[in-house]
Chains A and B, each alone.
Chain A
């Protein structure tokens, strides 16, 4: 099994619907992240969390919210999806010792299409 698991892997929805993307990890890392990937734009940070009680906005948090239910679980919600949120979403983790100089471990991605 993958160390960082994302569900669903693919989702097609309609404008205005609420969507939740879930991420769970077995690496025991404290830090978790949600990134969005768009063709030609690289990865952009949506939200990140350094522990269960810590949630921080990234560079493109508008239209998104997150919940850190446990050390191992970090979910991303789109309260009212819009077509320009169509993208590939990645969850990632890192450990405390890694910090800003360490390695991120990525899930396999969740492809979201908003019609």
Chain B
């Protein structure tokens, strides 16, 4: 079946620290991979995505590379800011399942000044 496993939080960092949130997936075929972010009191919004192996998604200083050989899509940022404090969700989507996404459990990130 299709599933996503992401590292459990919470993750607490100081401002300007390096961030990695691990995400691995299980799927048949060739899924698309996503990172969504949920800021306090808001809905989820797309942070970045990659649709095929070796693609790198990037946005707002965040990056993630689709690694088919390790079935991973780890989220990284070189220097986090207080405003990055949020919950981050890794997700998987496949065309054969017609539009639904499979989400990981979410990782709470808190950045202190």
A residues near B (Cβ < 8 Å) are 4, 31, 33, 35, 40-45, 48, 50, 58, 90, 92, 94, 98-104, 106-109
Contacts and interface: CB of A to CB of B under 8 A. Distances in A.
B89 A101 contact: no
Given A42-B105, A103-B49, A48 B44 contact: no
B43 A108 contact: yes
Interface in B25-55: 32, 34, 36, 41-46, 49, 51
Interface string B89-107: 1000111111111011110
Interface size class of B (residues with CB under 8 A): 20 to 34
Nearest to A35: B103
Contacts of B106: 40, 42
B43 A94 contact: no
A36 to B, nearest CB: 11
B103 A43 contact: yes
A106 B99 contact: no
Contact of A48 (B32, B45, B89, B100): B100
Contacts of A94: 99
B56 to A, nearest CB: 16
A104 B95 contact: no
A38 to B, nearest CB: 9
Contact of B99 (A31, A43, A90, A109): A31
A100 B99 contact: yes
Nearest to A49: B99
Nearest to A31: B99
* Interface-central residue, B49, B89, B93, by most chain A CB under 10 Å: B93
13 contacts: A4-B43, A31-B99, A42-B104, A50-B98, A92-B44, A100-B101, A101-B94, A101-B95, A102-B99, A104-B44, A106-B44, A107-B43, A108-B43
B57 to A, nearest CB: 12
